[in-house]
């Protein structure tokens, strides 16, 4: 995800200083130091201190067809919008990491659990 894309996403989430947060995010979130922030790295950086309404907004950004579940295809489509390359197989792997009921989809409960797991 490029810096301007991180800024745009942070603005959409209602962050006050998206430019500064985007730079800080890169330093903190790029844990594998490949120069990019992938989906899991992005979500990890936003787990702490985030409002439930922000989590729900992020969920609905990914759930493009509005069925209340996020598919691997929807993850891939969002990654493309964010300028990130992600194969369908990689996106399926990401979904499996979060999908607690093993239905191949991320529902709001799965998403909330992922986003709030470090707050407990």
The tally of domains found in the chain comes to 1
pLDDT computed for residue 2 by the predictor: 61
Q: Which residues of the chain have pLDDT under 70?
A: 1-4, 6, 24-29, 45-52, 116-120
Please give the Cα distance from 37 to 41 (Å, whole number).
Answer: 6
In this prediction, what percent of the chain has a pLDDT beyond 90?
29
pLDDT computed for residue 33 by the predictor: 76
In this prediction the pTM is 0.59
pLDDT computed for residue 92 by the predictor: 95
pLDDT computed for residue 118 by the predictor: 44
Which domain, by its residues, includes 13?
3-119
Q: What is the CATH number of the domain that holds 18?
A: 1.10.238.10
């Amino acid at each position: 995800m490029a810096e301007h894309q991180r800024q745009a996403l942070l603005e959409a989430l209602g962050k006050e200083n998206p430019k500064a947060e985007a730079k800080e995010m890169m330093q903190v979130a790029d844990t594998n130091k490949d120069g990019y922030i992938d989906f899991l790295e992005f979500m990890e950086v936003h787990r702490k201190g985030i409002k439930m309404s922000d989590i729900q907004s992020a969920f609905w950004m990914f759930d493009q067809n509005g069925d209340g579940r996020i598919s691997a295809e929807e993850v891939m489509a969002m990654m493309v919008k964010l300028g990130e390359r992600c194969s369908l197989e990689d996106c399926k792997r990401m979904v499996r990491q979060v999908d607690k009921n093993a239905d191949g989809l991320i529902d709001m409960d799965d998403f909330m659990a992922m986003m709030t797991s470090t707050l407990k």
